[in-house]
Amino acid sequence: MADTAVQPSRSRDLDKLLLRPGNLVGPSFEPGPELREDLKEYAKVLVVGAGGLGCELLKDLALSGFRELEVIDMDRIEVSNLNRQFLFRLEDVGKPKAEVAAKRVMERVSGVNIVPHFCRIEDKELSFFSNFSIIALGLDSIEARSYINAVVCGFLEYDSDDNPLEETVKPMVDGGTEGFKGHARVIMPGLTPCFECTIWLFPPQVKFPLCTLAETPRTAAHCIEYAHLIKWDEVHSGKAFDPDDPKHMKWVYDEAVKRAELFGIPGVTYSLTQGVVKNIIPAIASTNAIISAACAMETLKIASGCSKTLSNYLTYNGAEGLHTKVTEFVKDKDCLVCGPGVLVELDSSLTLEKFISLLEEHPKLQLSKASITHRGKNLYMQAPPVLEEMTRSNLSQPLFELMGKISKDVVHATGTVKKNDTKTSSLRKLRVVFKGVDEVADMDTAGGA
């Protein structure tokens, strides 16, 4: 008699989530084999960062049924990475992290396709990020998170009632680790708090008084910062320090060792030098694995609807025992990045000067003496005098032309408002829509920061 026993599927654990109904599933969830195949074919995920957390994310996403992945990272592999970034080997030192990480995961997980990008995130066109269903962040930099957050919120559009259009919401899953601590969060721009809404969660960076560095250093970190902040400028007058240049970092390390020997201070190492200069917190492999698992699970929930997503910020602390907590933070309705701003409909012939006058008369704004910026470019600045003179010629030009002749986009206006007989400075986000102008096909952002 032929053996008709069903062989266990390699994706049996995934099948338990995708092939069965449940009480916590999303409203659009339809269990079945088709969902598993759709996940492989249509869900496209970008992993930003290929370090300790990024390596874990790539592996977890590949093993969770995602087949179309891309990863972007600007760093090369260093010896100090090898203790926790498990996809790398000694022979990989000096090679791009993104390329090696993609290669290793594809070798171990059959059928997955991972495209690496060895470059800065700022080097990519905005349209590059719009191609992905979900963006997963494995970063150790506040600046990089802010940039990706602004890009993703830039795709967001609102209707006339200031409700986000569902088709323009691009989900993000953000993870971060710091020693035995970590966090995972889900960001649905326009629906949940974005990164800027909760920027206050990040503690201020430690700063050392320059007098301590120059005269009375007491720790290895003082010696390193002396070489970095003081000695570098003395020796390399006018030359900017590049923390990603190994020669620059080696120079700072050598000078810090000399400084430490002079004052009898132990503990200066190359890895510590990198940590102090780049403000890197030592990473622990187990923390990366736990946070990556949480991020991969949330990515799967968003893509498949197999369960309700996190609401909306998970913290993990394994320093003493184990403690996890989920906190639901509230979206800042006035956020300049993800908030709707104020909708302003204009004629394409309206000049910048008349636009500034309109802001003063607008019932929701009443913004006087406004300075206007568009995508980081100063269209008109009230002060200082040198900038006012440089941008004065723009006043007579149509705003439509100054904004690149696109039908709708966001500008930021800074001016003064009067409240309770007191004038205060105010920065406002404006969604400008030009009446009677067709949508430009290649517009790369609308309604964002």
Give the catalytic positions in this structure: 211
Tokens of 369: 């003496």
Tokens of 87: 């996809």
Burial letters for 377-409: b for 16+ Cβ neighbours within 10 Å, e otherwise? eebbbbeeeeeeeebeebbeebbbebbeebbbb
Short-list 207, 196, 203, 205, CA closest to 174: 196
The span from the CA of 418 to the CA of 420, in Å, is 7
Amino acid residing at 208? F
Q: Parallel, antiparallel, or unpaired: how do β-strands 408-419 and 368-374 relate? A: antiparallel
CA geometry: angle 49, 241, 217, nearest 5 deg: 105
User: Hey, CA dihedral for 272, 277, 279, 285, is it positive or negative?
Assistant: negative
The span from the CA of 171 to the CA of 299, in Å, is 9
Give the position of tokens 């394994």: 318
Short-list 107, 71, 98, 77, CA closest to 89: 77
285-304 and 33-42 helices cross at what angle (nearest 10)? 110
Q: CA separation (Å) from 15 to 36, 39, 112?
A: 8, 12, 18
Q: What strands, in cross-sheet order, belong to the sheet with 134-138? A: 113-117, 68-72, 44-48, 134-138, 172-178, 181-187, 313-317, 323-327
What are residue 70's DSSP bridge partners?
A: 46, 115
The span from the CA of 153 to the CA of 231, in Å, is 41
Q: Do the Cβ atoms of 291 and 283 come closer than 8 Å? A: no
Residue 96 gets which letter from DSSP? Answer: B
Tokens of 312: 């909306």
Please give the helix or strand (H or E) that residue 429 lies within, else none.
Answer: strand 422-434
Phi, psi of 181 (to 5 degrees): -110, 155
Tokens of 97: 């992290």
